[in-house]
Amino acid sequence: MNTLNKTKYLMNKYNINPTKKFGQNFLIDDNILQNIVDASNITEDDIVIEIGPGLGNLTQYLIEKAKFVILIEIDNSMIGVLEDRFKEYQNYKILNQDILKINLDELTREYNSSNIKVVANLPYYITTPILFKLLQESSDIKEITVMVQKEVAKRMVAPCKTKDYGILTLMVEYLAIPEIKFFVPNSSFIPSPNVESAIINLKKEKRYNVKDENVLFDLIHSAFAMRRKKMINSLEQAHFLNMNKEDIKKFVNICGLTDNVRAEELSINEYIKLADKISETKNK
């Protein structure tokens, strides 16, 4: 049975109505599912975490390819479906939990593997918090391949000085190497979402040195708090490190930037330079 017919069969058998509350859009196109697995570079030695398995359409492919799959699903009406569907397999475990409440460091430590991959068709209502969590927690997670809204994928790879360039771009640039793999038509899902989708692959890798990461992250978030304003005003109004405007101006100027500079005009290297100058003084 192909995935489209399997989905209809399971929805009917278990009386499942996809709910918007949990961002449920089930993937029904076998070519796309195969392409996601190919884009994720998983091998038979890999531990994979799947966020939101739903009816198990992507899981079916992952479970056949990986050594072990950890399924994290918030909706308890999916748990019985998954258990029935995969009863012949031993290489998986289901956690009926909210991904945002899971301690990923603790979870991954149990598996004693330093090469864990995440593969998921993400629930779009919480894409950004999930991405930040995956990027910042657990150094054992090395690679992330996820379906996101096309707009979000574009933000992750946006060039400096464009409207898509922002907090997500800079955090991704600092913590990973992003690559948009392909776009996915709305017709590949049931129900069909009203936004376009893309598969993005993120290889976690820190390519920059920073004195104090917390200062850098706080700086980036505060700089974009009011992105249409001058950066010094945005930093002041976001109470960045409780600094006053004169001090902020001083650091911005030391880094060779003008008072008029806006958040989207700074590259990651300029943010790091500014954060480092501020950290040096803070720690004196």
Rule CB under 6 A: which residues touch ligand SAM? 22-27, 51-54, 57-58, 72-75, 78, 98-100, 121, 123, 126
Q: Which is nearer to ligand SAM, 69 or 78 (CB)?
A: 78
CA distance 244 to 254: 16
- In the complex, minimum distance from the CB of residue 143 to ligand SAM, in angstroms, rounded to a whole number: 18
Least distance CB 83 / ligand SAM (angstroms): 15
Query: Which CB, 169 or 188, lies closer to ligand SAM?
Result: 188
Question: Which residue has its beta carbon closest to ligand SAM?
Answer: 52
Question: Nearer Cβ to ligand SAM, position 37 or 126?
Answer: 126
Nearer to ligand SAM, 55 or 252 (CB): 55
In whole angstroms, the minimum distance from the beta carbon of 87 to ligand SAM comes to: 19
The nearest distance, CB 55 to ligand SAM, in angstroms, is 6
Q: How would you classify residue 23: left for phi > 0, otherwise alpha for psi between -120 and 50, otherwise beta?
A: left
β-sheet bridge partners, residue 68? 47
Nearest approach in angstroms of CB 167 to ligand SAM is 21
Distances in Å between the Cα of 160 and the Cα atoms of 89, 155, 164, 259, 264 are: 47, 11, 9, 18, 6
Of the two residues 73 and 236, which places its CB atom closer to ligand SAM in the complex? 73
Q: What's the min distance (Å) between Cβ of 77 and ligand SAM?
A: 9
Minimum distance from CB of 97 to ligand SAM (Å)? 7
Residue number, 70 or 275, with CB nearest to ligand SAM: 70
By beta-carbon proximity to ligand SAM, the closer residue of 46 and 75 is 75
Ramachandran area for residue 242 (φ above 0: left; ψ -120 to 50: alpha; else beta):
left
Distance CA 2, CA 8 (A): 10
Least separation in angstroms between CB 140 and ligand SAM: 19
* For ligand SAM, the closer CB: 124 or 270: 124
Among 139, 161, 136, 157, CA closest to 148? 157
